Amino acid sequence: MLKPVGVGTELFYKLREKGCYYVDKTPLIRTVFRDIQSDIMLITRPRRFGKTLTMSTFHDFLAINPEVPGDVSRQENWFRGTKIFQDQDFCREYMGKFPVIFISLKAIVNSNFKNAYKQFAFTIHDVAMNFEYLSASTVLSDRQKEQYDNLTRYEKLSDPSSSALLTGSLKTLTTLLHTHHGRRPILLIDEYDVPLAKAAHHGYYNDMIEILSPFYNQTLKTNPDLDRAVLTGCLRAAKESIFTGLNNLKICSLLDTERNNISQGIGFTQEETQEVLSYYNLTDYFDEVRNNYDGYFFGNSHMYCPWDVMSFCDDYSEKSDSPHTRIKAKNYWINTSGNDIIEEFMDFISPEDTDRMQDLLDGKPVTTKIRDSLCYGDLPKHDITDFWTLLLYTGYLTFDPENVREQEDDSEELYDLRIPNLEIRKCFRDKIMDFLHNSPVMKNHTTELIKALFCGDQEGVQSNLSGLLAKYVSLRDLTTKAPRENYYHGFMNGLLVNGVSLVGEHRSSPESGDGYADLILLSPQEDVVTVLELKTARSRLDDKIAKAEKAIEQIINTDYAGQFMDNSTIQAVYACGICFHRKTCAVRIRQLK
């Protein structure tokens, strides 16, 4: 019988106790805690690459049994058969030997600071409750026991007037654990940057910084009671934002090419992916998995997204032998997390950078600088370099490690970024592009465009349509082979659908007069009709104005508006000719009634 997949199980000990399939990443424990002599390490990776499982693995291997110190029977059960268990010298020195604080900040996501503060307090309360044995310690003084008691009192932790208790909570806990066990604890902070990301998006960044900066610095900076700390997150936040004066922080980002054992420690290599597929009898679908879930680079290592690979196996492992099952790679990644910060940039993207996003969809790279240390407080400036950096660190893009180069005019490095695989290409198009098409900027331009069409305002139509073309015309599915006029027809239809509340009736290619008009619009009051005829220019030197005038003549000569001319309900009829070329247009309007 095949082992269960365990999708959604993020704790190592649960995976092992349930007998789930486990891709052995345990050598990373030795790399992080012995081979790299760093007091504080930050590992950044995109979402759904197993950061939480990695931290849980560290905790479950290292954590001391407070009831029976020295008893490592739990670890022996969990880690027997793994690669790290083969190194018995390392196990004797590290396994079950440390008090370990394991805290995740990914639940601190509220839209306002007051509630986020409460979530933060509840998280600390939960962590403190894992060490209830401290309240009965024979080593701690009465005052130290009172300090511990304060950490377990949610009502006190969540009171903003006691913020010093919250910001100093982990520093206090490390001191108490060091005193009780006689050994400095290890601190694991998962998703350290989530509170900052949410605060930046919802507008309370400065309030959150006032809490997180002392929280991190008191705990991590020259803390004599801390053995070492490991943090994970998506982004490498700038030191000046929260890690003030912290000089012993080692960064292991996805751009680092120094250590393959770190690069391959989170995520699946190609060999590991092949082994998983073989185990679940899905080897024949390796190309499908590779095309959809491969393509990431961490350092010099080529990596697959483990969430996708294991989800694929979970869906199809029991169906691989069925001739009636259609096995096709699904999109598992798209709804696993929010994109708040990325979406915030959308309305500030220039037409030039919109074209660069189109290049990405076409499979071409985008060459750009990357801001290694990204300060969340700078995001409201909407610097395009920050946008590309966000897309890289959150997993929408990857980089080519063999083509990193310095600019000629300065020492900053340039990176070639691209969409890693088919799944992310679809995410990129569906999530980011759909947001662009429904953004406030588009809706505002569309509203003004429709108003202008029903007023015969030639300049208003020209201005608003030009703005929309400049920003959005390249956002298309290039798999279509349709003629250019069909594309612009679809583009106009899309705009009019967005402004449906401003249009009483919208007819596309209706039979009218002696032919088929491109578009006929009826106002909500049913008293104004605008007939549109769309043309395209073959080159930028073509006379677009003349073609727009010919479009009006076509409306008149083919009697597209004839059915409305004698209708006493209709007070005004406009003929609108538009000639498009790439991101430009010429508009002419003539009032027929």
Q: Residue 301: name the closest of 276, 265, 325, 336 by CA.
A: 265
| Helical (H) or strand (E) element with 219 | helix 205-220
According to CATH, the topology of domain 15-252 is Rossmann fold (3.40.50)
Per the rule left: phi > 0, alpha: psi between -120 and 50, beta: everything else, 526 is left
Q: What is the largest CA-CA distance in the chain?
A: 99
Here the tokens at position 129 are 């409750």
SS3 state at 394: coil
Distance, in Å, from the CA atom of 349 to the CA atom of 365, rounded to the nearest integer, reads: 18
What phi, psi does 279 have (nearest 5°)?
A: -60, -40
Q: Contact 525/480 with Cβ under 8 angstroms? A: no
Residue with tokens 């600071």: 113
Tell whether the torsion through CA atoms of 560, 566, 570 and 571 is positive or negative.
positive
Can you tell me whether residue 576 is helix, strand or coil?
Answer: strand
Taking the C-alpha atoms of residue 501 and residue 509, their distance in angstroms, rounded to an integer, is 20
C-alpha distances out from residue 196 to 9, 124, 131, 233, 378, Å = 26, 17, 27, 11, 12
- Does the model's pTM come out above 0.85? no
Note the Cα 426 to chain centre separation in Å: 14
Looking at 3.30.70, 3.30.420, 1.20.120, 3.40.1350, the CATH number of the domain 440-591 comes to 3.40.1350
The amino acid sitting at 110 is N
Query: How high is the pLDDT of residue 430?
Result: 75
- The answer to whether 400 and 415 have CB atoms below 8 angstroms apart is yes
- CATH 3.40.1350 domain position(s) in the chain: 440-591
Contact 562, 520 (CB under 8 A): no
Q: Which two tokens stand for residue 386?
A: 């920050």
Q: Which residue has the tokens 């995976």?
A: 15
- Displacement of CA 75 from its chain's centroid (Å): 35
In the chain, list all ranges with CATH 3.40.50. Answer: 15-252
The total number of residues written for the chain in this structure: 593
Q: How does pLDDT run along the chain (593 residues), one tens digit per residue? A: 899 999 989 999 999 999 999 999 999 999 999 998 889 999 999 988 999 999 999 999 999 999 898 999 999 999 999 999 999 999 999 999 999 999 999 999 999 999 999 999 999 999 999 999 999 999 999 999 999 999 999 999 999 999 999 999 999 999 999 999 999 999 999 999 999 888 988 889 999 999 999 999 999 988 999 999 999 998 877 665 788 777 778 889 999 877 778 899 999 999 999 999 999 999 999 999 999 999 999 999 999 999 999 999 999 987 666 666 678 889 888 766 556 666 667 667 776 777 788 788 888 899 999 988 777 777 778 888 988 998 999 899 999 988 888 766 666 789 999 999 999 988 877 766 666 666 777 778 889 999 999 999 999 999 999 988 887 766 544 334 556 678 788 888 878 876 777 899 888 878 776 678 899 999 999 999 999 999 999 888 889 999 999 999 999 999 999 999 999 999 999 999 999 988 899 999 999 99
Q: Give CA separation, 277 vs 179, 318, 553, in Å.
A: 48, 12, 64
* Burial label, 507 (beta-carbon count in 10 A; 0-12, 13-18, 19+): middle
Which two tokens mark 117? 């503060």
Q: Which residue bears the tokens 């893009």?
A: 397
